[in-house]
């Protein structure tokens, strides 16, 4: 397994632990309370993350067998699975999260060198090598661990993840180029990877003159994913709002 792949599978594990920590901190009644995600209770978030693991098992199966196995049968199925899952008894919902995460770990563990290079299709219709599947999972467990509002915040997420999600979200928003143009600038101390300084600015292509948004990595990541953030400053312009991503 390549070092990148090992790294991304480690991040899946770290994100799963954080999601579990947030979930364990909440009692059953708290699961029925609303989140900052429009129309979703915490139970919806858990159901979505559990269903996501099962959908990614489909992609792992596709990569292993070469037989086309989409994440979801349809967008409607994706939505109805979340709605049905959200009304499950709390104990069942908690078990679903654990079992589905373990199932995905097992399915990814069954892939060998050649399988990882096979092309699969995401729910958004992008064709990607199977090596991208661990990262797709990492984004979901990390960001939704924060959405659970159970004591895990963006500050608790690993720096490697924050940097990667800034790259990924900036690239995604730049491809659409239909939101505000911004440049995200980290005010965290610069560090290096193998002697090379890490990137500390992420331009987002969009509408209008780019506004520079400065702050700690964790808060920039919260901002770029459309979540609540604090302590960000701009170069004079107003901080443009961004829609939710993930
Ligand atoms: Zn999601």
What lies within 8 Å, CB to CB, of 139 at 6+ separation is 165, 168, 246
Q: Which pair of structure tokens corresponds to residue 1?
A: 């397994």
Q: How far apart are the first and last CA of the chain?
A: 27
User: Is-contact 63 115, C-beta < 8 A?
Assistant: yes
For residue 50, the SS3 value is: helix
Calculate how far, in angstroms, residue 153's C-alpha sits from the geometric centre of ligand 1.
16
Closest Cα partner for 9 from 112, 107, 135?
135
Calculate how far, in angstroms, residue 89's C-alpha sits from the geometric centre of ligand 1.
21
- The length of the chain is 246
**Segment (H or E) for 209:** strand 207-215
How high is the pLDDT of residue 7? 83
State how far the Cα of 231 lies from the Cα of 228, in Å rounded to an integer. Answer: 11
For residue 31, the SS3 value is: helix
Average pLDDT of the chain is 93
CB neighbours (10 Å) of residue 37?
A: 17
CB neighbours (10 Å) of residue 132?
A: 17
Calculate how far, in angstroms, residue 192's C-alpha sits from the geometric centre of ligand 1.
30
203 φ/ψ angles, rounded to the nearest 5 degrees: -80, 140
CA dihedral 32, 35, 41, 43 (to 10 degrees): -80
How high is the pLDDT of residue 246? 87
Calculate how far, in angstroms, residue 19's C-alpha sits from the geometric centre of ligand 1.
13
Calculate how far, in angstroms, residue 124's C-alpha sits from the geometric centre of ligand 1.
12
How high is the pLDDT of residue 141? 98
Calculate how far, in angstroms, residue 107's C-alpha sits from the geometric centre of ligand 1.
20
How high is the pLDDT of residue 213? 96
Closest Cα partner for 240 from 225, 223, 218?
223
The beta strand positions in 46-193, using DSSP E, are 119-121, 127-129, 180-186, 192-193
Calculate how far, in angstroms, residue 50's C-alpha sits from the geometric centre of ligand 1.
10
State how far the Cα of 59 lies from the Cα of 81, in Å rounded to an integer. Answer: 18
Q: Which pair of structure tokens corresponds to residue 21?
A: 């920590």
193 vs 56 pLDDT, higher one: 56
Q: Indicate the pTM of the whole model.
A: 0.94
What does the pLDDT average to over 43-70? Answer: 98
Q: Domains (ranges, CATH) in the chain?
A: 5-152 (1.20.120.450), 159-234 (3.30.1050.20)
Calculate how far, in angstroms, residue 246's C-alpha sits from the geometric centre of ligand 1.
4
State how far the Cα of 26 lies from the Cα of 33, in Å rounded to an integer. Answer: 10
The beta strand positions in 80-179, using DSSP E, are 119-121, 127-129
State how far the Cα of 140 lies from the Cα of 130, in Å rounded to an integer. Answer: 16
**Is the pLDDT reported for residue 188 higher than 90?**
no
Closest Cα partner for 48 from 25, 81, 92?
81
- pLDDT band per the 50, 70, 90 thresholds, residue 243: confident
How high is the pLDDT of residue 4? 81
């Amino acid at each position: 397994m390549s070092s990148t792949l090992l790294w991304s599978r480690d991040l899946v594990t770290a994100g799963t632990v954080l999601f579990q920590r947030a979930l364990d901190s909440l009692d059953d009644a708290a699961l029925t309370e609303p989140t900052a995600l429009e129309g979703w209770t915490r139970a919806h978030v858990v159901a979505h993350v559990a269903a996501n693991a099962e959908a990614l098992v489909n992609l792992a199966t596709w990569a292993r067998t070469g037989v086309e196995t989409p994440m979801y049968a349809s967008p409607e199925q994706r939505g109805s699975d979340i709605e049905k899952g959200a009304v499950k008894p709390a104990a069942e919902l908690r078990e679903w999260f654990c079992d589905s995460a373990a199932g995905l770990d097992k399915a990814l563990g069954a892939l060998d060198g050649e399988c990882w290079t096979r092309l699969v299709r995401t729910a958004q219709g992008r064709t990607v090598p199977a090596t991208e599947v661990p990262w797709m999972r990492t984004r979901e467990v990390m960001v939704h661990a924060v959405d659970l509002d159970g004591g895990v915040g963006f500050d608790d997420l690993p720096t490697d993840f924050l940097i990667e999600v800034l790259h990924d979200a900036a690239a995604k928003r730049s491809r659409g180029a239909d939101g505000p143009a911004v440049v995200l600038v980290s005010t965290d101390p610069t560090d290096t990877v193998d002697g090379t300084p890490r990137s500390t600015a992420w331009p987002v292509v969009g509408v209008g003159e780019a506004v520079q948004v400065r702050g700690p990595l964790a808060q920039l990541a919260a901002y770029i994913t459309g979540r609540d953030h604090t302590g960000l400053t701009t170069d004079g312009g107003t901080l443009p709002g961004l829609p939710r991503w993930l």
